[in-house]
Every structure is written in structure tokens, then in C-alpha cells.
Amino acid sequence: MKSKEQKVDFLLFLIVSALILIGSVMVYSSSSAIADGNDKFSGHAFFLKRQLVWLIVAYIAMFLAARVNLDNIRWLIAPALFATFALLLFVFLMPKVRDTHRWISLGPIALQPSEIFKYVVIVYLAHSLSQKGRNLDDLRRYLWPYGPILGVGAILIVLEPDLGTAMVMGGAVLVMLYLAGARIKHLAIAIAGSATAVSFLVFVLGYKRARVDTYLASLSDPLDASHQVRQSILSLANGGVSGAGLGNGIFKQFFLPEPHTDFIFASIGEELGLIGLLVTLLLLFGLIWRGLKIARRQTDRFHFLLATGLTMCLAVNMVINIAVVLGLIPTTGVTLPFLSYGGSSLAVSAVAVGVLLNLSRRRERYAV
């Protein structure tokens, strides 16, 4: 068997590059006032400079992921899984940042292990589910090995706390299991179990209870929404159709929390308006469309599940972030891929796209 190669999906590369360009411009526009008004930051371009460094790292990582032979490195999947588990444990030894244990600080570099783990899990599942004789009709298949790996990983991420990333990972995993042949009733059990666990965490143990209570109150009166969501909605409303103009947003100036990270979509809406939001959404949709098209062309089971899982991970991430900005779900702390400020998110998302570009060169498999 051989792989018949074709040209790389250049449209996907252009879409991602356009998103990164928009993100870089908006990171500077939405963070310059914050950086300029705080002595701990070295000037108004502090966040942009850091983002540009990570941008270089991201493109290098994307290029390498697009060129490597994926089948030849499958032996690295198990060690990578154990390594990311170790990072998820090590993060609790680091000092808290914003009352969370999400980052491992290495000088000026901050890594977020949960961002890495969710993609490693996708690769692991694609590898494992593509093995011959892997039958998901038996419920015991979920109890071992998938149950402990996914369960322990999700618990560690939730304890950071980072429920948003756990939700992104869970959504992508469910799609992969379904496409790999899982029965609907088994997936329903998994969903019901997860929902029960989250409800217990929130309503019994009080995990993020205030956020949920505020969100439920906002359903009857939008003015009861959290400060973040209220400012986000006001930012979007202030933008109107054509926007206030690039750099002319007012809510980023200490009104809208995290305008360059979690709520950068609101910053785009205020400064570029509905037109800017539609262009951004079109590009995000284009990314998912190309990813699913690449997945559809794969006839090798591992490659198909890998492309689908990576695409769905990006898609769920995007949907959750935008839903938070629009006030449709409680705030979760999930960034918007390729647009939000953040090195770990940008780098691992670039690797995911690099793998998709790699798979786009594989048209089909044929016998010689």
C-alpha cells in the first residue's frame, strides 16, 4: 500500500493566516491601553510583541507538523500521553495565576498543559480506535482503557479549575467515538454521567456556582448577567454594523475584562462591527469546512479519525467561546483559536492545522 500525494490544502493555510492576522491586529488594539496603563508591562506593545514571538513558533510548528510522516511517529503517542499527564499534575506545584493552576511558568514562557492534553487525547483516540478488532459494541471497552484516561484527565483539568477545556475535549471525544462505531445508548450514558458529575460539582460542591446562578438569573433579566457578559454585550452593541473603527473601542479601556483573550470576539464586534464579525465567522467556518473536507477524503481509519477529531476540537472551542461572548452560556475561560492572545493556544492550534495540512496531501490509498 502507498499514499498518493496531492498538493497541500493552500486555502486552509490562507484562512488560518487571515485569522492570525486579524487576531494579531486585535490583540494589539484591545491590549494597548491595558499595557500602557500598567507599570509591570513594558509599553503599549507588550502583548503584541509576545504574541508575535509565539506566532513565529506557531508557524514553525505548523510547518513541521505538515511535513512529518504521521505513521512513523505513532509510537510516540503513548509517551506523549504520559508526559502530558505528568504536566497536568506538575501544574499544581506552580503558584496560582488569577486564582487558578492552569499554567507552568518557564521564565517569560507560560505553558498551559490542558491545551496540550486535549489534542494529545485526540491523537491517542484516533490511534487506538483505528486498531484492528477494536469493537465499541462492548461497554467494557469504555471502562478500559478509555474511561480512566479520559476521566482522570478531565478531573485534573476541572480541578485547575478549567471546566471550559474539559468541555471542549469532551465534545470532540464524543464525536470521535460516534464515528468509530459507538452505540448511541452508550454515548447517552456517558453524557448523562458527565452531566450528573458537573451538576454535583456545581450545585453540591459549589464549583463555579456563582457563575451558574448569575447566568440563570440573566435568562429572565439580561441586566442580571455577570459583569463580563454585560460588558461584552454592550461592546457588541456599541459596534453596530460598521464598528467604532479600529483602535477606537472604548470598552477595552478597563470596562470589558480580558478584551484581548477570552472576549476578543467582543472587541472585534465593537471596533469592526457586524461586518467584521461576519468576516471573522466566515473564516472560522471556512477552517472547519476545510478540516471536515480533508477528513472526508481519508480512507485510512487513523487519518480519518485524526482529521475529524482535530477539526471538531477546534470547532467546539470556537462555539463555546462565541457562546460565552454572546451570553448564551456561563463564562468558561476558553480562548478563541488563532484570534485570542495566548501562546499555548496559538501553538497547539497551529500544530493541529499543520496535521490537517499534512493529511490534505494524502488523497487515497491504493495497491501497487
Residue 126 has pLDDT above 90, yes or no: yes
- CB neighbours of 174 closer than 8 A, spacing ≥ 6? 187, 190, 191
In tens, the pLDDT along 207-220 reads 677 777 777 777 66
Under 8 Å between Cβ of 346 and 51: yes
Residue 1 has pLDDT above 50, yes or no: no
The secondary structure of residue 75, as a DSSP letter, is: G
Cell 471538531, located at residue: 312
CB hemisphere CA count around 223 (13 angstroms): 0
CA 336/CA 317 separation, integer angstroms: 7
> Of 260, 261, 290, whose CA–CA distance to 352 is shortest?
290
| Rounded Cα distance, 126 and 176, in Å | 8
Judge contact between 295 and 362, C-beta under 8 A.
Answer: no
pLDDT of residue 367: 36
CA 279 to mean position of chain CA atoms = 20
- CB-neighbour burial class of residue 77 (10 A; exposed 0-12, middle 13-18, buried 19+): middle
User: By C-alpha distance, which of 190, 202, 201, 275 is closest to 236?
Assistant: 275
State residue 366's pLDDT score: 35
pLDDT digits (tens, 9 = 90+) for 176-195: 999 988 888 888 888 888 88
Give the pLDDT score at 221. 66
Cα distance from N-terminal residue to C-terminal residue, the chain? 6
Q: Residue 298's domain spans which residues?
A: 2-366
The pTM of this model reads: 0.91
Q: What is the mean pLDDT of the chain?
A: 87
Q: What pLDDT is attached to residue 182?
A: 85
Distance CA 175, CA 5 (A): 27
Helix, strand, coil percentages in the chain from 3-state DSSP, rounded to 5: 70, 5, 25
Local confidence band at 288 (pLDDT 50, 70, 90 cut-offs): very high
What would the mean pLDDT of 223-233 be, rounded to a whole number?
79
For residues 301 and 281, give the distance between their C-alpha atoms in angstroms, rounded to a whole number.
30
285 pLDDT more than 90: yes
**What digits encode the pLDDT tens for the residues 93-123?**
888 877 788 888 877 677 889 999 999 999 9
Half-sphere exposure at residue 315, Cβ-oriented, CA atoms within 13 angstroms:
18
Whether 2 shows a pLDDT value over 60: the answer reads no
CA angle 336/341/347 to nearest 5° reads 80
d(CA 339, CA 27): 8
What is the Cα–Cα distance from 278 to 350, expressed in whole angstroms?
23
Could you report the per-residue pLDDT of 18-66, keeping only the tens digit for each? 999 999 999 999 988 888 766 677 778 888 998 999 999 999 999 999 9
Q: How many domains does the chain have?
A: 1
pLDDT at 268: 96
Query: For a pLDDT cut of 90, what percent of the chain falls above it?
Result: 52
What is the C-alpha separation between 136 and 182, in angstroms, rounded? 5
Backbone angles phi, psi at 128, to 5 degrees: -70, -45
CA atoms of 280 and 283, how far apart (whole Å): 5
Cell numbers at residue 320, please?
Answer: 463555546
